[in-house]
Structure 1
Amino acid sequence: MSEVPAADNRGISSERALKRALQHLKDDRAEIIEGVIETVPPSWDHEAAADALREQIRTRARELGCVIGSGNLDLPGSPNWYVPDLAVVPADVAKGAAALLPADTLLVVEVTSESNANTDRVVKRRRYAEYGAPLYLLIDRQERAVTLYAEPGRLGYTRADGPHPYGAVLRLPEPFGIALDTNAL
């Protein structure tokens, strides 16, 4: 892991340079989490949970004119560059974009792994709220629970629905208006 460097003596923004460099990695996808570069190597079990959710929201996302993906999310002015497990984004906003802002999304989803569970539960939840992601769905595989966070603000989300154990039905609010089967996660 590497620390994000301070600005150099030529006035070049180290934040901008580092975030641009991450977009051009050849082999691994990487994130910057609170100034630390971390690779994103999800396991197949992790991917299966994300895929089960993707299948449940695919039809509604298409009806809304959105795409579902795991593209780059920039948090300007901070030492953060995230690659969420899933994000639902209007197709016209995503077209041609190398990175989006959390506020550009309709829903951001993180699936915990042993190595990053606390980051997803605490750090990313706070930062997604601070940067305006309207909905943040945390699929906590270690706790076998799901929590939907809504109503973002500078100090975090002001509403939480959960944690609900796997097997509970979780309703995504409008514009989705669908119920998720958490047994599939």
Structure 2
Amino acid sequence: MSKIGYHHGDLRRTIVTAAVEAIGDSGLDGWSLRELARRAGVSHAAPAHHFGDKSGVLTAIAVEGFTLLADALEAAEPDLLDMGLAYVSFAVTYPVHFGVMFQPGLYRGDDEAVRKAEARAGDVLREGARAVTIPPSGPEHTTLAAWSIVHGFANLWLSGALRMPADTDPVQAARPVLRRLLEH
């Protein structure tokens, strides 16, 4: 086993973790592969070897994000309210992933792993929407309405645009908003 493999175990995981930290610290434009190598304690060539370029790193973050989102949605009660709250909780817990996932121009959207992870998350959300159809819409419109509301709320929360007290729990703040969607 190489010295790097011995010290770092899963080098890809180490680099993705370094990327999430770097993006969290400096934003989507404020990091480089060389910085990831420094943060991960590996040679400057290691990130490029494993991911090719920044887009490859962001693709790995998107895959991880969609997988984490699908896991969170599956862990929620199988109703639209709980799934919506799980979505907001995911966004607040994983803001870097959330920020990357919904900017497909940043990563390789045609990547098979991205497509599978994104489809899984979408399927779970659509399944939750099937239980609630808001007349006169069908389940596809309910899914789009629910996604639009929870995604918008999460973006507004993360940007600070909602201007709520610092000690406000974002999931609890989202609850009445999502209940409004479900009133019909």
TM (norm. structure 2) is: 0.25
Of structures 1 and 2, the larger Rg is shown by: 2
Higher relative contact order (CA 8 A, sep 6+): 2
Higher percent of residues as helix: 2
TM-score normalized by the length of structure 1: 0.25
| Structure with more of its chain in strand, by fraction | 1
